[in-house]
Amino acid sequence: MNGTPEFVGAVTTPDAVDVDMLFVPVFDGEDSLDDLPGLNEATLGDIGRARAGGEFRGGAFECFMTRVAAGASYRATRVVLVGAGRRSDADPERLRRVAAVCSYTARLRSVQSAGLVVRAGLDVRPAAQFSADGFSAAEFDGGTRKTADRSAGAFPERVVILAPGADPVALSDAVFKGRTIGHAANLARALGNEPANVLTPIEFAKRVAEMSSGVGLSVEVLDEHRIRELKMGLLLGVAQGSAEPPRLVVIRHDPPGAPETPVLGFVGKGITFDTGGVSIKPADGMDRMKLDMSGGAAVAAAMCALAVLKAPRRVVAVIPMAENAVGGRAIRPGDVLVAASGTTVEIINTDAEGRLILGDALWYAQQLGATHLVDAATLTGACVVALGRVASGLFGTPEVWTDHVRSAGQRAGDRLWPMPLHDDYRDMLRSDIADIANSAGRWAGANTAAMFLREFVKDVPWAHLDIAGTAWLDERRPYQPTGATGAAVRTFIELGLTPVE
């Protein structure tokens, strides 16, 4: 996962780094750049004039580029000031986004080498990690299937994360970790951007198996016959309307010497395309339903990163994969399916299919020994209505576990917002003919969907991440183009690296 381009840490002074483009985050307000002596002189006063005249103020993601004068003390060819906003806002997400702005700027200009300065006053280890993570962003290319008018630019062959005076071993470790995490996010983005006629459940399973086995993880791919033997009626029911058969992928990270417990169980929704089934979706925006496997992609990519980072605890991942299609064999509203757990489910809406396949997968993760569960899914439009594209919904029990998951997300730079799971939401899923209905209608849709998942969790701690609003970006940002975002990848990685409370 960490081949070319090369990412390295350097503890020398900024003037000694020989790169084509040196990026300097600048904070809004009184940022004197004292930790970069001689920088203004090296640009023949361009930086000072830009700041004094208001051309560059340090607002978030604002950029100012200038050349270094021939014979100057700085060895970089060009210097780019990048606005980092207020220093008080320099959290993981902001630092990573600033680094991503640097990354896209470097790629647009096809520079061969780039350096990014970790500013004085920041905690070096996390700042270097988030810098390497964010700078990896532009390596991902969402236009690989274009034959003309490809996006301009090439990613640098060498990236230097510069932290003058830092401990070189700690810096190197932080850069390696950040680079691994950033690459994992790109793996998830690449899977999410694939068209559904290419990334079928069989192909999705194949790619996940190749990714996982390539870093030494144990992988098992269950076909439709094995799924039927396990009596996973919910997964089979969703898949039966499609010509594409379902798959269930199990990935295990079992490091030598790891304690028997806890065993983290990661579950990710893998619907490779969602028409809505008989309860068909509107045509507008249906093209984006290729991303309905984003939760599964996040789990797979995170597992690869945990293997590379040698996470010290046992993790088992379960990814159910299917296509929710319209066909003569598709399930209908009013049908009753039987889950692997024995629970009977009345189908009210065939577009509430993600929770069905997750129900069987959550049950199976517990059969495989998971003691703590976390699932991620592009589950409900209701969560997008509630939280927009800004945060993922966080549900679960008990509170101490959801707090643990939310804290992991905050450290990783993922925004997770806690949502309620009152018993009244379970009452909304009552069925007259089955144990539970798969949909309660429009109101509190994200909450009732989460409550449905809870039906398949025993007494183990469990958290559900609804990433419907955060898995895809509709409008280009300075730090990311439109497309898949890799939502939840970093949270899963952080959970795998953090002691369970």
Catalytic residue numbers, as ranges: 281, 355
**Token duo for residue 448:** 């009732």
Q: How far is CA 266 from CA 163, 472, 484, in A?
A: 35, 21, 20
Sort strands 270-274 and 336-338 into parallel, antiparallel or unpaired: unpaired
Distance between CA atoms of 42 and 367, rounded to whole angstroms?
64
Based on C-alpha coordinates, what's the Rg of the chain?
A: 24
DSSP string, 32-71: --TTSTTHHHHTTTHHHHHHHTTS----TT-EEEEEPPTT
Residues 6+ apart with CB under 8 A from 33: 24, 26, 39, 40, 47
Cβ atoms of 394 and 447 within 8 Å: the answer is no
Distance between CA atoms of 285 and 476, rounded to whole angstroms?
17
Dihedral of alpha carbons 198, 201, 207, 210, sign: negative
What's the DSSP call for residue 157?
Answer: S
Sort strands 158-162 and 78-83 into parallel, antiparallel or unpaired: unpaired
3-state SS, 159-198, equals EEEECCCCCHHHHHHHHHHHHHHHHHHHHHHHHHHCCCCC
Cβ-based neighbour number of residue 45 at 10 Å = 13
Cβ atoms of 21 and 15 within 8 Å: the answer is no
Distance between CA atoms of 453 and 472, rounded to whole angstroms?
23
Helices 489-497 and 399-412 cross at an angle (nearest 10°) of 110
Distance between CA atoms of 138 and 143, rounded to whole angstroms?
12
Distance between CA atoms of 67 and 295, rounded to whole angstroms?
43
Distance between CA atoms of 21 and 330, rounded to whole angstroms?
56
Cβ atoms of 339 and 278 within 8 Å: the answer is no
